[in-house]
Structure 1
Amino acid sequence: MKLSLPIFRLKRQARLLSREAAIPLHEALDRLARREGFRSWSLLAAEASRLRPGERLLPRFAPGDLALLAARPGHGKTLLGLELAVAAVRAGRSAFFFTLEETEAGISQRLRSLGLGSEAARLVVDTSDDIAAGFMIDRMGAAPRPALAVIDYLQLLDQQRRKPQLSVQVRQLHDFAAATGATVVAISQIDRAFEDRGRKMPEPSDIRQPNPLDLGLFSTACFLHDGEVRFGAMNAAA
């Protein structure tokens, strides 16, 4: 059963209902659960926990978002990006996975490891060396809206001299997302110095920037580390 709102928003509504109706929070949660078709909040939460991580994450990105999905190597950012794109396909959206890091065979293997079938077949995977902002915008421009694109990964977009500077490409992607309602999620590296800073989760300041970049162009960020996820607006992601 599909929830009418992401679970974090339902929890927010329950807190408001608890205050307004002067009832215990657990009663407010159960009321909302019954509205969603479940006998209790515990049953609703159990159903929500069976969703794939990408399915849980998708509702948190709004149309027009240019977002970051960032982690150190080996913490699952590419896999989560793929799950996010497949979740968009399942939701009836056009979805693209642009990668300058993985081969087509490697992506196919990852999708098989997720046990994905027909949904994966509807995902557009592009491994072209020509991937850059203009190339991706051209491919997404003709797709039914709202499209979602995952870019693997941000720091590789300007590795070839014939491509515009990364700051220019990020501005182009920002403007395209804002104009069309597309959601563009850029997988990003985290600077290795993060691991020496004694924090449990990366912050915007830990984004690796081989060239200067205006991080204010990103509306939201999702940071991964040791199995934990932190999500929020860029000015509050830390």
Structure 2
Amino acid sequence: MKLSAPVHHLKRRARRLSREERIPLHQALDRVAAGEGFGAWSLLAARRTATSPAGGLFARLAPGDLVLIGARPGHGKTLMSLELAVEAMKAGRRGVLFTLEYTARDVIDRFRAIGADPAHFGGLFDFDDSDAISADYIVGALATAPPGTLVVVDYLQLLDHRRENPPLMAQIRTLKAFAADRGLILVFISQIDRSYDPAKKPCPDIGDVRLPNPLDLSLFSKMCFLHAGQIRF
């Protein structure tokens, strides 16, 4: 069954419906799904997951990888990152989210949007929204993380938002060495500069990554960019 719009547009429609009618987001998602011919959003999400590129991207990842996932707001970078965490947990590995943006409730809503529930993974998922998140904080929090753990950092440009934190370049170097030493996979959600023009190219690329502070992007071993349903690895 062909959807009337890309999934990220449908989620946006559900969020607007949730605000306008003052109903929980999961109810709004179900109503949007019904309009697409599905009995519930979970069924629509399951269809999306079956054809999602996250499984293919996860298969390319190896312990020690630093991965950058970049997109403009509303184009699926957070959901792609969470889908990677789900793929890791399906494989029996741990998934961890460090976020300076979302609350625990927000994260549950986003898992629902991809048809997943972290409660189903037997304690393999951890969530941390401390204001103190930085490279040193992440290293300390993951001191006992087993090899193969997939870690999502939301988001790259906020790591040095506090003046007492080291420069972004130093933090990424620290995390790269830590990931290699411990066999972890670190996925960084990244902003894209507002100058990116989709009329000139269908997906952003490395030249469009927003860098308010200096950062050598060659520190990342893999990159994935998204826009309007288009994906570029």
TM-score by length of 2: 0.74
Specify the alignment match of 2:41 in structure 1.
Answer: none
1:149 is the counterpart of 2:151: yes
Aligned partners of 1:53 and 1:83 also within 8 Å: no
Q: What letter is aligned with 2:98?
A: F
Q: Which runs of 5+ in 1 are unaligned?
A: 1-46, 232-238
Specify the alignment match of 1:35 in structure 2.
Answer: none
Tell me how far 1:71 sits from its aligned partner: 0.6
Task: Provide closer, same or farther for how the CA distance between residues 121 and 228 of structure 1 changes in structure 2, counting only shifts above 3 A.
Answer: farther
Q: Residues 65-99 of structure 1, C-alpha deviation per residue, up to 9 Å, x if partnerless? A: 11100111110101111111121111111211111
Distance 1:113 1:59 in 2: 22
Q: Percent identity?
A: 47
Distance 2:147 2:198 in 1: 43
Task: Provide closer, same or farther for how the CA distance between residues 230 and 196 of structure 1 changes in structure 2, counting only shifts above 3 A.
Answer: closer
Aligned partners of 1:69 and 1:223 also within 8 Å: yes
Tell me how far 1:107 sits from its aligned partner: 0.6
Tell me how far 1:54 sits from its aligned partner: 2.7
Specify the alignment match of 1:42 in structure 2.
Answer: none
Distance 1:106 1:93 in 2: 23
CA-atom RMSD, angstroms?
2.1
Task: Provide closer, same or farther for how the CA distance between residues 50 and 112 of structure 1 changes in structure 2, counting only shifts above 3 A.
Answer: closer
Aligned partners of 2:71 and 2:191 also within 8 Å: yes
Q: Find the partner of 1:217 among 199, 202, 219.
A: 219
1:75 is the counterpart of 2:105: no
Specify the alignment match of 1:54 in structure 2.
Answer: 54
Farther-moved stretch of structure 1 (103-112 vs 73-82) = 103-112
Distance 2:52 2:168 in 1: 32
Tell me how far 1:119 sits from its aligned partner: 2.5
Distance 1:112 1:219 in 2: 29
Distance 1:220 1:68 in 2: 6
Aligned partners of 2:69 and 2:224 also within 8 Å: yes
Tell me how far 1:197 sits from its aligned partner: 6.8
Specify the alignment match of 2:167 in structure 1.
Answer: 165
Tell me how far 1:207 sits from its aligned partner: 0.5
Q: Which runs of 5+ in 2 are unaligned?
A: 1-46
Q: Residues 154-205 of structure 1, C-alpha deviation per residue, up to 9 Å, x if partnerless? A: 0011111121111111111111112122110100011111127711111111
Q: What letter is aligned with 1:149?
A: V
TM-score by length of 1: 0.72
Q: How many aligned residue pairs are there? A: 185
Specify the alignment match of 2:185 in structure 1.
Answer: 183
Task: Provide closer, same or farther for how the CA distance between residues 199 and 51 of structure 1 changes in structure 2, counting only shifts above 3 A.
Answer: closer
Task: Provide closer, same or farther for how the CA distance between residues 225 and 196 of structure 1 changes in structure 2, counting only shifts above 3 A.
Answer: closer
